[in-house]
Amino acid sequence: MVRALLVRTPFHPGFWVRRRLERAIGSQRDRVCGVLLDVGCGLKPYEKVLGERVNKYIGLEYSPESGYRGNKADVYADAAAIPLASGSVDTVLCTELLEHVPNPDMVIEEIARVLKPGGILLCTAPFFYPIHDALDFFRYSPMGVATMMRRHSFQVESVAPLSGTGLTLAILFNIYWFDIGFMWTKWLYLFGLILRPVLLLFVFIVNMCGWLLERMLPSHHMSFNHLTIAHQPEMQSHTRIVGRKIAPLPIEAVG
């Protein structure tokens, strides 16, 4: 109930996380076009923002059971073996996925394969953020994702932090205070129910203090996340790795 009612307000510990991710992806809506592949799409939170800018929006997930709240995928497959033809996609969106795959290099390689020459890749991945899934393998410094992209012939355009240090500290503290202290620790749960209004007010205060610190003392050395934008060179040839054979799905058959 708290998530449903307050997730888009400063009374929720994940308010700034959601807001900054949505704004970062939304700021690139004029760049997307053609066929868009959302790798690790979950519930397709960006389809409303980007869907009207593309001809086709394809969501990819590992299985129908992926995601703690389900998913709205059109295709189910390993992100390291995408069942689409080489050079068949104009835009790839890869948000909050690379920390959950055991071999992120293979995922970036597959994205490079399915992207057309000149195609754009929008990617976010956490840097300072708690473990948030049973399959949570990596964290990425500002140049971490960009370095992987360059290994697979991408031209990196920009790497932008999504928060300042002050806001990151507020996010981390609120996650600890709200989720761990009052949701997951049994002996504190009863107090959490009784003191819920006070807890929500405290979350709000911490969120606002983090925002003020970010503006008053600018520093991005501890951003919780980064948006990395890259594109395929106009003249680029991709050859499948020997030993990995995939029968590609025609784009027209997806969805």
Tell me the pLDDT tens digit for each residue of 158-210. 999 999 999 999 999 998 877 765 555 555 666 666 777 888 898 999 999 99
Same domain assignment for residues 142 and 169: no
Which residues form the domain of 178? 1-16+164-219
- Percent of the chain at pLDDT > 90 equals 69
- Asked if residue 67 and residue 191 are part of one domain, the reply reads no
CA distance 169 to 244: 43
Mean pLDDT of the chain: 88
Contacts of 162 (CB under 8 A, 6+ apart): 20, 21, 24, 124, 223, 224, 225, 226, 227
Q: What is the mean pLDDT of residues 215-236?
A: 91
pLDDT tens per residue across span 33-76: 999 999 999 999 999 999 999 999 999 999 988 877 788 999 99
- Of 221 and 237, more confident: 221
Helix axes 196-216, 186-194, angle to 10 degrees: 90
Residues 41 and 133 in one domain: yes
Chain position carrying tokens 């030993």: 243
213 and 227 assigned to the same domain: no
Is 169 in the same domain as 215?
Answer: yes
pLDDT value of position 239 = 46
Q: Are 124 and 227 in contact (CB under 8 A)?
A: yes
Asked if residue 240 has pLDDT above 50, the reply is no
CA 172 – CA 80 distance, rounded (Å): 31
Contact 54, 217 (CB under 8 A): no
In this prediction, residue 132 carries a pLDDT of 86
- CB-neighbour burial class of residue 42 (10 A; exposed 0-12, middle 13-18, buried 19+): buried
Please give the tally of structural domains in the chain: 2
Q: Checking DSSP bridges between strand 35-39 and strand 89-95, what pairing results, if any? A: parallel
State residue 190 phi and psi, 5-degree precision.
-60, -40
Please check whether residue 109 lies inside any domain of the structure.
Answer: yes
Rounded CA separation 17/5 (Å): 16
95 and 58 assigned to the same domain = yes
